[in-house]
Amino acid sequence: MADINADWSADSNDAIHISLVTPSVGGTTSIHTFNPKFTYSIFGDEESIFGYQGLKINLKYNASDMRPGLQITYNKKFKAVGDIEPTDLKAVLEPFLPKTAFEKSSVFESNISAIPADWHPPGELFRTIEIGGETFEIWKGNLSDPFVQQTIKRIQILVPFFIEGGTLLDLDESEDDLGRWTVFFLYQKKQSTATFFEKSSSYIFTGFSTVYRYYMYTPTTPPQSPNGDKIAPEFTLPVDGVSFDTLPCRSRISQFMILPPFQSGGKGSIFYNAIFDYLYDDPYTREITVEDPNEAFDDLRDINDFARLRKDARFQQLKLNSGLKIKPKGPAPTKLFDTKAYEEIRAQMKIAPRQFARVHEMYLLSLIPQSVKQAPLHEDEEETSKKSLPPPNKEDEHIYHLWQLLVKQRLYRHNKDALAQLDRGERIDKLNETLMGVEVDYGRLIETVNERSEKQKAIEIGKGKGILNGEWKEGSCRRRRRGRCLGALEFTDDIKECFKMYSRFCIQMNEGGNEEKGEWMNGNVNRRDERDERG
């Protein structure tokens, strides 16, 4: 049986080829071809397809409207023996693709050739951007729009392909529920001179993101009925005569994807910032959140939120109270900064509490001289020498200790139940270890933002070329990432797993770590999971 599996099994990640194509004389021309990153949610945990030799699954997408066409070829197919049968590829893929994807190749080619030259993406044009001499457009629509919904149906298989744990949207919900979804499409707009290509659309699909609006309850003070009128204790949405679009909401970024061929040049950062700008300007959005982001999206979000906030004059005033004293024994000080101003600015910036706290900590750390902080780790040396730095003064050291206390307090609150199971000495040790990891991770992100800022300044004064607005590539800074377990207690509620993660982090630090190149910016959220980020 093992020999049969070896001879007749194919790696599903390698067997599937995704192509963006345009119509051409005699068929199609491929612009980009790439493989999926994950297929376990479709073909099982082993990501293996049984029953074929020389298997190729070609999923072609018309580069503009993303109409799919599926072609399956193989050299040999396994003949069923009892219960052992080859994988029914059509049956497996049908839940993830529209019926039109299974039509003959000639029908697919004919349909995409018929698309008019003036075709444009669904929804309305939200923003036009120039990136490195290329033009990109962001289009915005609502999932209740049939054309937006059609595009989502066509591309939904890309969610499990490129977002770990990604789930499909439920498109069979009511129109009111679908109306809560805002969809953003990122397109490259080409200026082509080819005679045949002029007859087809000049748009090339680059990525997309979805945002869901949750009703956000805002308690009133004083009570809603000062005249004593009785108020019904319960009501059900939607309320007759009241549109959900006019109610206060928490807007959550759901799926966020940039296709592999376009994951460079800062497109993900620019796309994220455009979505943030839209939600920030929306008068009904009270808070912008992201649910279940992966590690790379965490980085992208942290970097861009930090770059945004540190330029805000109000945010810059949220500094630590240097007048506080830390006693060797007794309760630790709690009012480390102006909490009232802090909360007012957080609400104005519409950033979720935990994310705002992390960016605030990052900003405060960036103000502390390097001579005081722990030495950063670099890929070409174990530790940066402090001999060339000016000696630390007592005031800077005091601010640094206040910063450490601030982070420890947040980490403790976030993991209170898990830490309560440990002895006092163990709690202190684990908090100190996690604090070190958080500081290293913050330092990496701060350095990335600083490098990006310096490059942008060089461009603005004519020392560089191209547009670097929002540019970020994972691994661009010298301080490479050594694993997201850097803040172990912060990222899981299982304290034992935290300690294991931190041990692996230390091993990675000693061995040089492992890093995936490229700008992976895919993140997914299951809308049904309504956990918030109140940390």
pLDDT tens track for 462-486: 644 444 443 333 333 333 333 333 2
Q: Are residues 360 and 410 in the same domain?
A: yes
> If you average pLDDT over residues 497-523, what whole number do you get?
39
CATH number, domain of 182, equals 3.40.630.30
Residue 535 covered by a domain: no
What confidence category does residue 39 fall into, taking pLDDT thresholds of 50, 70 and 90? very high
What confidence category does residue 234 fall into, taking pLDDT thresholds of 50, 70 and 90? low
Q: What is the DSSP letter of 84?
A: B
> How high does pLDDT run on average in the chain?
82
Q: Active-site residue among 137, 287, 291, 490?
A: 291
Q: Is the per-residue pLDDT at 173 higher than 70?
A: yes
Cα 506 to the chain's mean position, in Å? 26
Last residue of a domain, one of 113, 136, 151: 113
Cβ atoms within 10 Å of 75's Cβ, excluding its own: 9
Q: Output the 3-class SS for 368-429.
A: CCCCCCCCCCECCECCCCCCCCCCCCHHHHHHHHHHHHHHHHHHHHHCHHHHCCCCHHHHHH
Residue 280 covered by a domain: yes
Q: Are residues 165 and 194 in the same domain?
A: yes
Asked whether residue 470 is marked as a ligand-binding residue, the answer is no
Structure tokens at 414: 């976030």
Q: Is the pLDDT higher at 373 or at 168?
A: 168
Residue 97 covered by a domain: yes
3-state secondary structure of 44: coil
Give the lowest-confidence range in 42-51, 127-136, 221-230.
221-230
- Return the pLDDT at 196: 47
Amino acid at 381: E
Q: Are residues 262 and 188 in the same domain?
A: yes
- Return the pLDDT at 271: 98
Q: Are residues 327 and 476 in the same domain?
A: yes
Q: Which residues, at least 6 apart from 390, have a Cβ–Cβ distance to it below 8 Å?
A: 369, 371
Q: Are residues 89 and 186 in the same domain?
A: no
Residue 413 covered by a domain: yes
Residue 231 covered by a domain: no
Q: Which residues, at least 6 apart from 148, have a Cβ–Cβ distance to it below 8 Å?
A: 122, 123, 141, 142, 183
pLDDT tens track for 257-313: 999 999 988 999 999 999 999 999 999 999 999 988 888 899 999 999 999 999 999
> If you average pLDDT over residues 425-444, what whole number do you get?
93
Consecutive H or E run containing 441: helix 424-460
> If you average pLDDT over residues 379-397, what whole number do you get?
66
Asked whether residue 263 is marked as a ligand-binding residue, the answer is yes
Residue 472 covered by a domain: yes
Asked whether residue 256 is marked as a ligand-binding residue, the answer is yes
Using alpha carbons only, what angle is made at residue 44 by residues 42 and 49, rounded to the nearest 5 degrees? 85
CATH number, domain of 44, equals 3.90.360.10
3-state secondary structure of 458: helix
Q: Is the per-residue pLDDT at 239 higher than 70?
A: no
pLDDT tens track for 178-196: 999 999 999 999 875 444 4
The answer to whether the beta carbons of residues 40 and 50 sit under 8 Å apart is: no
Q: Is the pLDDT higher at 507 or at 266?
A: 266
Determine whether 379 is an active site residue: no
Asked whether residue 512 is marked as a ligand-binding residue, the answer is no
HSE (side-chain half, CA atoms, 13 Å) at 90: 9
- Return the pLDDT at 200: 60
- CA gap 387, 378 in Å, rounded: 16
- Return the pLDDT at 475: 35
- Look-up: residue for tokens 């994988």? 87
Q: Is the per-residue pLDDT at 384 higher than 90?
A: no
- Look-up: residue for tokens 């605030």? 360
Asked whether residue 509 is marked as a ligand-binding residue, the answer is no
Cβ atoms within 10 Å of 460's Cβ, excluding its own: 10
Q: Are residues 144 and 28 in the same domain?
A: no
What confidence category does residue 26 fall into, taking pLDDT thresholds of 50, 70 and 90? confident
What confidence category does residue 201 fall into, taking pLDDT thresholds of 50, 70 and 90? confident
3-state secondary structure of 253: strand
Q: Is the per-residue pLDDT at 530 higher than 50?
A: no
Domains: count for the chain: 3
CA nearest to 535, candidates 496, 495, 490, 499: 490
- Return the pLDDT at 142: 96
- Return the pLDDT at 528: 33
Q: Are residues 270 and 132 in the same domain?
A: yes
Last residue of a domain, one of 92, 113, 134: 113
Q: Is the per-residue pLDDT at 224 higher than 50?
A: yes
Q: Are residues 22 and 73 in the same domain?
A: yes
Structure tokens at 477: 């800074």
Cα 236 to the chain's mean position, in Å? 32
> If you average pLDDT over residues 145-151, what whole number do you get?
97
Question: Burial letters for 267-285: b for 16+ Cβ neighbours within 10 Å, e otherwise?
Answer: bbbbbbbbbbebbbebeeb
> If you average pLDDT over residues 20-40, what whole number do you get?
94
Q: State what percent of residues in the chain have pLDDT above 90.
A: 59
What confidence category does residue 371 fall into, taking pLDDT thresholds of 50, 70 and 90? confident
What confidence category does residue 238 fall into, taking pLDDT thresholds of 50, 70 and 90? low
> If you average pLDDT over residues 149-177, what whole number do you get?
93
Residue 232 covered by a domain: no
Q: State what percent of residues in the chain have pLDDT above 70.
A: 76
**Dihedral sign from CA coordinates of 378, 384, 390, 393:** positive
Consecutive H or E run containing 131: strand 124-131
> If you average pLDDT over residues 334-351, what whole number do you get?
95
Last residue of a domain, one of 113, 133, 148: 113
pTM of the model: 0.81
Asked whether residue 269 is marked as a ligand-binding residue, the answer is yes
**In the structure, how many helices (H) and strands (E) does the chain have?**
18, 14
The answer to whether the beta carbons of residues 199 and 112 sit under 8 Å apart is: no
| Domain boundaries, position 331 | 312-511
Structure tokens at 335: 């009012």
Asked whether residue 165 is marked as a ligand-binding residue, the answer is no
Q: Are residues 324 and 285 in the same domain?
A: no
Q: Are residues 144 and 270 in the same domain?
A: yes
Q: Is the per-residue pLDDT at 398 higher than 50?
A: yes
Q: Is the pLDDT higher at 131 or at 55?
A: 55
Q: Are residues 285 and 332 in the same domain?
A: no
Q: Are residues 396 and 502 in the same domain?
A: yes
Residue 138 covered by a domain: yes
Radius of gyration of the chain (CA): 26
- Return the pLDDT at 244: 72
- φ and ψ at 284, to 5 degrees? -95, -15
What confidence category does residue 376 fall into, taking pLDDT thresholds of 50, 70 and 90? low
Consecutive H or E run containing 49: strand 48-50
